[in-house]
Amino acid sequence: MQVEYVLRTNGLTKKYKDRTAVEGINISVKRGEIYGFLGQNGAGKTTTIRMIMGLIQPTSGQIELFGQKLEPRRRAPFERIGSMIEIPGFYPNLTAAENLDIHRRMMGMGNKESIEQSLEQAGLLEVRNKRVKSFSLGMKQRLGIARALLHHPELLILDEPTNGLDPAGIKEVRNLIMDLASKRNIAVLVSSHILSEVQQMATILGIIHNGTLVEEIEQEVLQMKNRHCMEFKVSNDRHAVMLLEQKLGIRDYSVPEPGIVRVFEQLSESAAINRTLVGNGVDVAEITMLRETLEDYFLSLTGGGRSA
Ligand SMILES: Nc1ncnc2c1ncn2[C@@H]1O[C@H](COP(=O)(O)OP(=O)(O)OP(=O)(O)O)[C@@H](O)[C@H]1O
Ligand SMILES: [Mg+2]
């Protein structure tokens, strides 16, 4: 069966006069899938999303929506896409339902029933007649998602919907997104700069760094990345790695920083590995058993905590 993509980009690039914001981005989002778009501040998430939404013109590259190539100056099939980019603005003195109604009429889409429906989907039906100024940030974010759902989109594009939320708010938004994908088969492209916020809901995670997509990780691999290892603090990591390979046949290792070697196999053989290293001239100052988390991995791809 042919895979059905709702969104594909090919070599998507945006250059500004003095800098390249996004370069050669290839992402594909399938129906019912949650694509987590992860990257630090300034990585290029919003720029990518704005190009997909036709808000800015790509410098080069293509965008395909629902199998149709997006041509310059031709309207994108926005009736099939719902989006929330940046913090949604609402009239504070109007109720949730009134805000959605204004939006619906302004955009000329949806009907009265769709207001109730999308408020219900976002878990806001009970507060539909409350003024937005009394809403928490989490409720406003969900109202933003409700607004994006008004016209029953097949693709939902959410730029940092969990930004600034507390853990409970994050969980609410996450559950909502997961429900929309699993129960309504809506494809979701959701960006974040915090791994833990998208890790649990994404079916696939694309990591963007300095404008390029440095890695795409499928959910099954995401699970595997949280794995145990032995960490050796050594006097010479290059020599240590050579010994691991040649003397012990170890292939699954990493050097997360100079002088540190992590070994992911033969976990019960730390003493033997230690003997081999020491016996061949590599000093071992410390051996630690640990779990390399996805967080470590993400940081290793994006150059630690440093921002671009
Ligand atoms: N209009 C513009 N002119 C020049 N440079 C821009 C413009 N818009 C964005 N940039 C630059 O492009 C890069 C990517 O910005 P972008 O807003 O896409 O990042 P982001 O991943 O959304 O970051 P954040 O997490 O802070 O929202 C940044 O370095 C930014 O300064
Ligand atoms: Mg952004």
CB-based contacts of 3, cutoff 8 Å, min separation 6: 30
Instruction: Verify that 179 and 126 share a domain, yes or no.
Output: yes
Q: What is the pTM of this model?
A: 0.80
253 and 274 Cβ atoms separated by less than 8 Å: no
Give the whole-angstrom CA distance, residue 124 versus residue 116.
9
Q: What is the pLDDT of residues 237-282, one digit of tens each?
A: 999 999 999 999 999 898 988 999 999 889 999 999 999 999 999 9
> Looking up tokens 């937005």, which residue turns up?
132
CB-based contacts of 198, cutoff 8 Å, min separation 6: 36, 37, 38, 190, 192, 205
Q: Which domain holds residue 251?
A: 227-292
Instruction: Verify that 269 and 215 share a domain, yes or no.
Output: no
Instruction: Verify that 143 and 11 share a domain, yes or no.
Output: yes
Instruction: Verify that 82 and 186 share a domain, yes or no.
Output: yes
Instruction: Verify that 122 and 232 share a domain, yes or no.
Output: no
Residue 140: per-residue pLDDT: 93
Instruction: Verify that 175 and 277 share a domain, yes or no.
Output: no
**Banded pLDDT at 291 (limits 50, 70, 90):** confident
187 and 155 Cβ atoms separated by less than 8 Å: yes
Count of structural domains, the chain: 2
Count of CB atoms situated within 10 Å of the CB of 153: 22
Q: What is the pLDDT of residues 219-241, one digit of tens each?
A: 777 766 677 889 999 999 999 99
**Residue 156 sits in a domain of what CATH number?**
3.40.50.300
Identify the domain boundary among 197, 223, 249. Answer: 223
How many angstroms is it from 49 CA to the middle of ligand 2? 9
Does residue 305 sit within a domain?
A: no
**Of residues 5, 24, 38, the one with CA closest to residue 202:** 38
Q: Return the percentage of the chain with pLDDT > 90, whole number.
A: 66
Does residue 303 sit within a domain?
A: no
Residue 305: per-residue pLDDT: 44
Does residue 298 sit within a domain?
A: no
Residue closest via CA to ligand 1's atom 18 equals 44
- CB 17 near ligand 1, within 6 Å: no
Instruction: Verify that 242 and 111 share a domain, yes or no.
Output: no
Entry field: residues in the chain: 308
SS3 156: strand
Does residue 259 sit within a domain?
A: yes
* Averaged pLDDT, 206-231: 85
Instruction: Verify that 131 and 261 share a domain, yes or no.
Output: no
> What is the CA angle 223-225-226, rounded to 5?
75
Q: What is the pLDDT of residues 98-110, one digit of tens each?
A: 999 999 998 887 7
45 and 39 Cβ atoms separated by less than 8 Å: yes
> What is the CA angle 59-63-64, rounded to 5?
165
Give the whole-angstrom CA distance, residue 38 versus residue 189.
10
Q: What is the pLDDT of residues 42-95, one digit of tens each?
A: 999 999 999 999 889 999 999 999 988 887 666 668 889 999 987 778 999 999
Q: What is the pLDDT of residues 107-144, one digit of tens each?
A: 887 788 899 999 999 999 999 999 999 999 889 999 99
pLDDT surpasses 80 at 40: yes
Residue 308: per-residue pLDDT: 37
Instruction: Verify that 92 and 154 share a domain, yes or no.
Output: yes
Identify the domain boundary among 223, 242, 257. Answer: 223
Does residue 300 sit within a domain?
A: no
Does residue 301 sit within a domain?
A: no
CA distances from 239 to 234, 259, 289 (A): 9, 10, 21
Give the whole-angstrom CA distance, residue 53 versus residue 83.
8
How many angstroms is it from 19 CA to the middle of ligand 2? 16
**Banded pLDDT at 166 (limits 50, 70, 90):** confident
CB-based contacts of 213, cutoff 8 Å, min separation 6: 24, 25, 26, 27, 206, 207
Instruction: Verify that 104 and 146 share a domain, yes or no.
Output: yes
How many angstroms is it from 253 CA to the middle of ligand 2? 34
Instruction: Verify that 143 and 33 share a domain, yes or no.
Output: yes
Give the whole-angstrom CA distance, residue 120 versus residue 145.
11
- CB 14 near ligand 1, within 6 Å: no
Instruction: Verify that 37 and 167 share a domain, yes or no.
Output: yes
Tokens of 249: 């046949």
**In a mutational test of the pocket of ligand 1, which residue from 16, 20, 59, 197 has the highest number of ligand atoms less than 8 Å from its CB?**
16
Identify the domain boundary among 223, 248, 281. Answer: 223
Tokens of 291: 């779990």
Does residue 304 sit within a domain?
A: no
207 and 25 Cβ atoms separated by less than 8 Å: no
Identify the helix (H) or strand (E) that includes residue 202. none
Residue 98: per-residue pLDDT: 96
**Residue 258 sits in a domain of what CATH number?**
3.30.70.980
Does residue 297 sit within a domain?
A: no
